[in-house]
Structure 1
Amino acid sequence: MFNNLHEECGVFGIFEPKTSYVAQSVYLALYALQHRGQESCGIAVNDDGVFTHHKGNGLVPDVFTQDKLEHLGMGNIAIGHVRYSTTGGKNINNVQPLVIRHIKGNLALAHNGNLVNAMEIRKSFELNGGIFHGTSDTESIAYEIVSNRLSCKSTEEAIKKAMPNLKGAYSCVVMTATKLIAFRDPNGFRPLCFGKTADGAICVSSESCALDTVGAKIIRDVLPGEIITIDSNGIHSDKTHCKSNGNLCVFEYIYFARPDSIIDGASVEHARMRAGAFLAKESPVDADIVIGVPDSGLDAALGYANESGIPYGIGFIKNRYIGRSFIQPNQSQREDAVRIKLNVIKENIKGKRVIMIDDSIVRGTTCARIVNLLREAGAKEVHMRVSSPPFKHPCYFGTDVDSQENLIACKYNSVEEIAKVIGVDSLAYLSVESTHKLAESASTHCCDGCFTGKYPIEVPKEQPKDKFEEKISKTSSYYQVLD
Structure 2
Amino acid sequence: MSGLFGVVSRRDCVQTLFYGTDYHSHLGTQKAGMVVLNSRLQRSIHDISTSQFKSKFIEELPKMKGTMGLGVISDSNPQPIIIASSFGNFALVTNGLLENKNELVAEIKSQGGSFSELSAGVINSTEVVGKLIAQKKDIVAGITSVLAKVRGSVSLLVLGNEGVYAARDHWGRTPLIIGQKSRTWVVASETCAFPNLGFTPVKELLPGEIVLLTKNGLQEKRSGRLQEKICAFLWIYTGYPASSYDGVAVEAVRERCGINLAKRDKIKADLVTGVPDSGIAHALGYAQASGIPYRRPLVKYTSGYGRSYTPPSQQIRDQVAKMKLIPIKDVIAGKSIVICDDSIVRGTQLKNQALEKLWHDGAKAIHVRIACPPLLFPCRYCLSTRTRKELAARRAIKKAYGSAGKKIPVAKLLDETTPEYQKMIKTICQELGATSLRYQSIKEMVKAIGLPRNRLCLFCWNGQEA
TM-score range, shorter chain: 0.7 to 0.9
Q: 1:225 aligns with which of 203, 208, 233?
A: 208
Query: How many Å separate the matches in 2 of 1:222 and 1:329?
Result: 33
**Pair 1:324–1:334, CA change in 2 (3 A):** closer
Q: 2:254 aligns with which of 259, 269, 272?
A: 272
Aligned 8 A contact 2:75 2:383 in 1? no
Q: 1:91 corresponds to which residue?
A: none
Letter matched to residue 428 of structure 1: R
Residues 97-246 of structure 1 correspond to what in structure 2 (within 5 A)?
97-133=80-116, 134=118, 135-149=123-137, 154-198=138-182, 200-244=183-227, 246=228
Q: 2:360 aligns with which of 367, 372, 376?
A: 376
Letter matched to residue 455 of structure 1: E
Residues 432-451 of structure 1 correspond to what in structure 2 (within 5 A)?
432-441=442-451, 445-451=455-461
Residues 11-30 of structure 1 correspond to what in structure 2 (within 5 A)?
11-16=4-9, 18-20=10-12, 22-30=13-21
Indicate whether 1:285 and 2:295 are aligned: no
SS in 2 for 1:19: coil
Gaps of 5+ in 2: 398-423
Letter matched to residue 438 of structure 2: A
Computed over aligned residues only, the root mean square deviation of the Cα atoms, in angstroms, reads 2.3
> Which shows bigger deviation, 406-415 or 299-308?
406-415
CA offsets 1:301-337 (integer angstroms, 9 cap, x no match): 0111112222222221111233336989998x98776
Query: How many Å separate the matches in 1 of 2:280 and 2:61?
Result: 35
State the TM-score, normalizing by the size of structure 1: 0.84
**Pair 1:317–1:186, CA change in 2 (3 A):** same
Residues 292-371 of structure 1 correspond to what in structure 2 (within 5 A)?
292-320=274-302, 321-324=304-307, 338-369=321-352, 370-371=354-355
Shift of 1:182: 0.4
Shift of 1:443: 9.0
Residues 399-414 of structure 1 correspond to what in structure 2 (within 5 A)?
399-413=383-397, 414=424
**Pair 1:327–1:229, CA change in 2 (3 A):** closer
Residues 398-477 of structure 1 correspond to what in structure 2 (within 5 A)?
398-413=382-397, 414-441=424-451, 445-456=455-466
Letter matched to residue 242 of structure 1: R
SS in 2 for 1:44: strand
Aligned 8 A contact 1:27 1:60 in 2? no
**Pair 1:346–1:448, CA change in 2 (3 A):** same
Query: How many Å separate the matches in 1 of 2:276 and 2:313?
Result: 24
Aligned 8 A contact 1:265 1:441 in 2? no
Aligned 8 A contact 1:54 1:72 in 2? no
CA offsets 1:121-166 (integer angstroms, 9 cap, x no match): 11101111111123232222212211112xxxx4224323442122
Shift of 1:438: 2.8
**Pair 1:337–1:266, CA change in 2 (3 A):** closer
Aligned 8 A contact 2:35 2:69 in 1? yes
Query: How many Å separate the matches in 2 of 1:144 and 1:336?
Result: 39
> Which shows bigger deviation, 229-238 or 205-214?
229-238
Identity %: 31
Q: 1:71 corresponds to which residue?
A: 63
Aligned 8 A contact 2:378 2:385 in 1? yes
Query: How many Å separate the matches in 2 of 1:329 and 1:164?
Result: 32
SS in 1 for 2:67: strand
**Pair 1:299–1:221, CA change in 2 (3 A):** same
Letter matched to residue 43 of structure 2: H
CA offsets 1:198-225 (integer angstroms, 9 cap, x no match): 3x10000010111223221111211111
CA offsets 1:215-247 (integer angstroms, 9 cap, x no match): 211112111111111224421124544141x11
Query: How many Å separate the matches in 2 of 1:445 and 1:236?
Result: 26
Query: How many Å separate the matches in 2 of 1:179 and 1:9?
Result: 22
Count of matched residue positions in the alignment of Structure 1 and Structure 2: 429
Query: How many Å separate the matches in 2 of 1:126 and 1:421?
Result: 47
Shift of 1:293: 0.5
Query: How many Å separate the matches in 1 of 2:88 and 2:317?
Result: 49
Query: How many Å separate the matches in 1 of 2:98 and 2:266?
Result: 40
Letter matched to residue 141 of structure 1: V
Shift of 1:181: 0.8
Query: How many Å separate the matches in 1 of 2:139 and 2:203?
Result: 23
Residues 77-92 of structure 1 correspond to what in structure 2 (within 5 A)?
77-85=68-76
Shift of 1:396: 1.0
Aligned 8 A contact 2:30 2:311 in 1? no
> Which shows bigger deviation, 394-403 or 290-299?
394-403
**Pair 1:402–1:105, CA change in 2 (3 A):** closer
Q: 1:466 corresponds to which residue?
A: none
Higher relative contact order (CA 8 A, sep 6+): 1
SS in 2 for 1:260: coil
State the TM-score, normalizing by the size of structure 2: 0.87
Query: How many Å separate the matches in 2 of 1:443 and 1:262?
Result: 18
SS in 2 for 1:13: strand
Shift of 1:435: 2.2
Aligned 8 A contact 1:436 1:445 in 2? no
Shift of 1:399: 4.2
SS in 2 for 1:351: coil
**Pair 1:55–1:399, CA change in 2 (3 A):** closer
**Pair 1:178–1:338, CA change in 2 (3 A):** closer
